Amino acid sequence: MSATRSPKVSERVAPKVSDPAPQKKKKRDDDDGPSFGELFNAWIEAHRSSLLDSLRRLGKQPIGSFFTCLVMAIALSLPMGLSLLLSNVERLGGSWQRAAQISLYLQLDASPSEGEGLVRQIKEMGGVAEAEYISRDEALNEFQKQSGLGEALKELPENPLPGVVLVTPLEVDKAALEALRTRLAELPKVQQAQLDLVWVERLAAILKLGDRFVFGLTVLLVAALLLVIGNTIRLHIENRRTEIEVIKLVGGTDSYVRRPFLYMGALYGLGAGVLSWGVLAFGLDWLNEAVVRLAGLYGSNFALAGVPVSDGLSLLLGAVLLGYIGAWIAVARHLRELAPR
């Protein structure tokens, strides 16, 4: 199936009779058949020819090839883009540990030094990532600022708020968090240990829904991609029907016939992967401007992360594989029809 150009005349000159090495090689070729090395080189050459032939054919129709890649790229970008946005939403929601913080309300008679001692004790406990003490005065100041009841609170005879220790767990597992909360509640000077899992559960449910949506969309778009690549390869097969029939008549195996189409599918996939990476990088960058402005209004310095290199490489590999599989399915379907007439 390769369209290797014939070597130049200078390359096609037969070895000189006086050259002993080629003579020896020629004798071995005639008597013992090709060596393993020669067969391996021929195999490599056959693959190289198929790859170059496929590239040449794609290059002959640059606009058609580009649009096929673009359609595939858009189909790839949708689930990948949604997945990247979900990752960013996870970051936006803060760390899971922060969302699952345990608040320890201390007894009113607990002094600041007892609170600091409690923090040291908690930090040494297993399953704790961080612990922070907020004294009664600090709690009151913060409440005055946030509630807008500053003047009213000043009228109170004494500070009604207890000291608080905020404990950030190492992992977010409902059972482990519950066990940690129970241990913390038993510590001295702790009046109440409160764990608010509702927010964690809601966020997890939303993200799970998002993941499912992305998965469903991915399945649908992968099927669409296989159809696009299959149809494209089918057209290539139709255009080369005579060539395929001749190849089969002179002893070409199915794998020989299939090879250039598989390379073509993989090349379409590679092109689509590169385009998709570009579309996603550009799209996220474009969105990021608006996101940064919005986040700034809430006093946050949050910004969208771009396409991580590992994700980009996975995208490329996946696209190449999809192109290859799509081409394989298309050729397998049509190979039987390609029997010489």
Partner 1 sequence: MIRFEQVGKRYPNGHVGLHELSFRVRRGEFLFVTGHSGAGKSTLLRLLLAMERPTTGKLLLAGQDLGQISTAQIPFLRRQIGVVFQNHQLLFDRTVFNNVALPLQILGLSKTEVVKRVDSALERVALSDKAELYPGDLSTGQQQRVGIARAIVHRPALLLADEPTGNLDPRLAAEIMGVFEDINRLGTSVLIASHDLALIARMRHRMLTLQRGRLIGDGEAGV
* Closest-CA residue to 315 (of 283, 264, 280): 280
* Contact flag: residue 340 with partner 1 (CB under 8 A): yes
Q: How far is the CB of 266 from partner 1 (least distance, A)?
A: 21
Which CB atom, from 148 or from 251, has the smaller least distance to partner 1?
251
Give the range of 40-48, 173-181, 188-196, 297-305 binding partner 1 by CB under 8 A: 40-48
| Distance from C-alpha of 271 to C-alpha of 72, rounded to nearest angstrom | 9
Q: How many residues at the interface with partner 1, by CB under 8 A? A: 35
Is residue 10 near partner 1 by the rule CB under 8 A?
no
Which tokens go with 173? 């597992």
If the CB atoms of residues 39 and 89 are measured against partner 1, the closer one turns out to be 39
14 binds partner 1 (CB under 8 A): yes
Chain position carrying tokens 């390769």:
2
Binding mask 184-223 for partner 1 (x = CB under 8 A): ----------------------------------------
> What part of residues 251-310 is at the interface with partner 1 (CB under 8 A)?
251-254, 256
Nearest-angstrom CA–CA distance, 61 and 229: 16
Given candidates 19, 38, 137, 337, which one binds partner 1 under the rule CB under 8 A?
Answer: 38
Give the 3-state DSSP-derived string for 122-177, with helices as H, strands as E and coil as C: HHCCCCEEEEEEECHHHHHHHHHHHHCCHHHHHCCCCCCCCCEEEEEECCCCHHHH
Q: Which strands sit side by side in the sheet containing 164-169, from one edge to the other? A: 128-134, 164-169, 102-106, 190-195
User: How far, in Å, CA of 337 to CA of 341, rounded?
Assistant: 10
Spatial contact of 272 and 72, defined as CB atoms under 8 Å apart: yes
Instruction: Give 245 or 311: the residue with its C-beta nearer to partner 1.
Output: 245
**Hey, which residues between 41 and 70 contact partner 1 (CB under 8 A)?**
41-43, 45-46, 49
124 binds partner 1 (CB under 8 A): no
CA distances for 142 relative to 31, 117, 131, 134, angstroms: 95, 22, 18, 10
332 binds partner 1 (CB under 8 A): no
Q: Is residue 17 involved in binding partner 1 (CB under 8 A)? A: no
User: Six-digit token pair at 197?
Assistant: 């899992």
Instruction: Please say which residue, 4 or 95, places its beta carbon nearer to partner 1.
Output: 4
Tell the smallest beta-carbon distance from residue 49 to partner 1 (Å): 7
- Residue 283: alpha-carbon gap to chain centroid: 16
242 vs 301 by CB, closer to partner 1 = 242
242 binds partner 1 (CB under 8 A): yes
Q: 3 or 332, CB closer to partner 1?
A: 3
State how far the Cα of 287 lies from the Cα of 134, in Å rounded to an integer. 38
Token pair, residue 249, equals 């008549």
What's the closest the beta carbon of residue 243 comes to partner 1, in angstroms? Answer: 5
Question: Among 17, 198, 250, 309, which residue interacts with partner 1 (rule: CB under 8 A)?
Answer: 250
CA dihedral 144, 300, 198, 168 (to 10 degrees): -80
Q: Point out which residues bind partner 1 (CB under 8 A).
A: 2-7, 11-12, 14, 29, 34, 38-39, 41-43, 45-46, 49, 242-243, 245-254, 256, 339-341
